[in-house]
Amino acid sequence: MSVPGISEPTEAIARARAGDAEAWGTLYHDYAPAMFRFCRRALPTREDAEDATMDIFIKLKKNLAQYDPTRSFSAWLYKVAANHCWDILRRRRVRQDKETEDVDNVPLEHPDPSALDKMIEERSSEEVRKALGKMGARARMALVMRYYSDMTYDEIADELGVRRQFVGVVLLRARHELRAALEGNVALAAGGKA
């Protein structure tokens, strides 16, 4: 996934690797807003997202030499962000709902992705964030990695520490959780107006 309106920063990366502070400023200016939005969806609070964004850029500075210029810079940066957010959630030992359920407990009906997309489009960013916040850490991270950073099933499996075959089940559960959380928000909003 690329950051809209930004081409590959080949020159800025080369200058940043050489220690050019202005190049670091350019990279931060161009990519920090997208990284913050990613972290905000993945982590429970705005403060967590702000801290994570700064930490990601500190990691970027330390590890820029590991970046392979034949790959997309923004895809690499999203992978760094996903790793960092998942590490934060794992370190905190956030309770991960529904992770140990048997596959038999997954609802047989597959939520219509277009209906879920429509539901998300009809909600404010705040409502979607709150709904994501009600979800278990693994489910939230799976959705964020798949739909906000376009990671592959293999990449998600690596990050979450699950078999690739289980990623689809995790995403199916996550979509059900998100739909339920969004519908719960609507019910709460409607109940509050009555």
Reply yes or no on whether the pLDDT at 164 is more than 80: yes
Domain count, the chain: 2
Q: What is the pLDDT of residues 114-155, one digit of tens each?
A: 666 677 777 777 788 888 888 888 888 888 888 777 788 888
Reply yes or no on whether the pLDDT at 106 is more than 50: no
Same domain membership, residue 110 and residue 68: no
Reply yes or no on whether the pLDDT at 27 is more than 80: yes
> pTM above 0.75?
no
Same domain membership, residue 78 and residue 143: no
- Is 179 within 8 Å of 114 (Cβ atoms)? no
Same domain membership, residue 167 and residue 112: yes
With pLDDT > 90 as the criterion, what percentage of the chain qualifies? 11
Reply yes or no on whether the pLDDT at 53 is more than 90: yes
- Is 77 within 8 Å of 35 (Cβ atoms)? yes
Whether 101 is in a domain gets the answer no
| For residues 104-109, average pLDDT | 42
Write out the H or E segment, with its range, that includes residue 189: helix 164-193
Whether 57 is in a domain gets the answer yes
What does the mean pLDDT of the chain come to?
A: 77
Whether 140 is in a domain gets the answer yes
Confidence label for 29 from pLDDT (cuts 50, 70 and 90) = very high
In this structure, what CATH number is given to the domain that contains residue 76? 1.10.1740.10
In this structure, what CATH number is given to the domain that contains residue 159? 1.10.10.10
Q: Which of 10-24, 82-96, 116-130, 167-181 has the highest mean pLDDT?
A: 10-24
Q: How far is CA 149 from CA 9, 32, 164, 180, in A?
A: 18, 14, 17, 23
Domain boundary among 67, 91, 115: 91
In the prediction, which pLDDT does 3 show?
54
- Per the model's pLDDT, the better-predicted residue between 3 and 15 turns out to be 15
In the prediction, which pLDDT does 115 show?
63
